[in-house]
Amino acid sequence: MKKKVLKFGGTSVGSTDRIKHAAKIIKKESDLGNKIIVVVSAMAGKTNELISLSKSVSKNFSKRELDVLLSTGEQVTCALISGALNEMGIKTKSFMNWQIPILTDGENNNARIINMNVTKINNYLSSGGIAVIPGYQGISSSGDITTIGRGGSDATAVAIAKIFDTDSCEIYTDVDGIYSTDPNKIPVAKKIDKISYEEMLELSSLGAKVMQSSAVQTAMIYDIPLQVRSTFTDRQGTKIFNKDNLDYSKAVTGVAYSKDDAKITLQAVEDKPGVAAEIFEPFGKNQINIDMVIQNVSSDGKTTDITFTTKREDLVKSLEILKKNNNIKFKNLSYKNNVSKISIVGAGMVTTPGVTYKMFRALAEEKINILAISTSEIKISVIIDEVFTVQAVKKLHNIFNLD
């Protein structure tokens, strides 16, 4: 007998028919003699709908009330899944976040799970019941309902796998695994059978929303193998696990992209020690992350240009910060928010020379200008004009033999 977490994403529970279908998968797993904890997302589109509702009431809707509102999406699914299972004669019960409880730390809208009480659920599993739990939420030490960031039901599933020490954590979604790039945008994308935590973490933090990046990070830290598979087909999914179990025949495993960056350039900044620190210090204080930074070589020894990227949603605040900063002098401030970030990811890069050159050459062949670059051991990211996104992804997918 195994203890399993089965997590169903928004599309997988997007209608009552789909909920009934998910219930059949749960029943099948239970009939095999497994103890099952089900984690569910809100029905597809529900969370966005609730956010719109809050905005139509107030532009400054309080974060506390927003969490009360958003947590209801997953609660609806819990009750419907339990109802569908009951209808099939199965013993099951939904447990709300505060009933368990799922304890969180951190601020509203962006909390993180720190612990859960296992007693009630374990007793229920031992009595032969299937526990159904809402993803994406918990309760803070002060007793307030919290949510844990968009896509957070993945993080709930991984946290449950860890805290309940389950034998597996299966992520049921609307694609049949992790692909070399988004299969809904680039149809030649290929399914990957196995991928390391490290590569998956890079892909998801660089835009592949198929897994939430903080969920992958937790899985990596605690070595919790994940399986991503389809709710709608029986095809084998993708295993995400420790890289020691993998061999790398290809330099690049996948191509990811995101459209949530903005690029800012400061022209003719005084070139002297400490200037970069003066520019970026206020960003840290204002909780704004800087991603890529490029400083041009100074031609006259007096001034230089500095380009950097931030999240697009932070652009306005970033420009304000720069304009208000009396500790720096520059001639001109320019920005561009219609940029995208294209990344190639692969653990095989470490042992394959020439990957960087090949990427840049391929983009040049497409006449795509690179606006900023950043690299790590297993990824290379570039910022380009947003209109070239699909063209760049297709080209890179092709030249790195992923089609």
Which residues contribute to the site for ligand ADP (CB under 6 A)?
A: 9-12, 41, 151, 173-175, 178-179, 181-184, 203, 208-210, 254
Q: Please, what is the angle between helix 16-31 and helix 63-87, to 10°? A: 60
Q: Which does 34 bind (CB under 5 to 8 A by kind): ligand ASP, ligand ADP, Mg ion, none?
A: none
Q: Minimum Å distance from CB 273 to ligand ADP? A: 42
Amino acid at position 14, single letter: G
Q: Which does 311 bind (CB under 5 to 8 A by kind): ligand ADP, ligand ASP, Mg ion, none?
A: none
How many helices, marked H, and strands, marked E, lie in the chain? 11, 20
Residues 6 or more apart whose CB falls under 8 angstroms from that of 383 comprise 261, 263, 292, 309, 339, 340, 341, 370, 371, 372, 373
The residue number whose beta carbon is nearest to ligand ADP equals: 9
- Please name which of 155, 250, 116 lies closest in space to residue 193, comparing C-alpha atoms: 250
Q: Pick the piece of the chain touching Mg ion (CB under 5 A) from 3-11, 105-113, 241-249, 272-280.
A: 3-11
Amino acid at position 34, single letter: N
Residue with smaller CB distance to ligand ASP, 49 or 167: 49
Q: Which does 213 bind (CB under 5 to 8 A by kind): ligand ASP, ligand ADP, Mg ion, none?
A: none
Rule CB under 5 A: which of 140-179 touch Mg ion? 151
Q: Minimum Å distance from CB 168 to ligand ADP? A: 17
Q: Minimum Å distance from CB 401 to ligand ASP? A: 33
CA atoms within 13 A on the CB side of 319: 13
Interacting residue ranges for ligand ASP, rule: CB under 6 A: 9-10, 41-42, 47, 73, 135-136, 150-154
Q: Give CA–CA dist 328/320, Å, rounded.
A: 13
User: With binding defined as CB under 5 A, does residue 135 bind Mg ion?
Assistant: no
Look at the chain and count its residues: 403
3-state SS class at 58: coil
Binding site for Mg ion (CB under 5 A): 9, 151
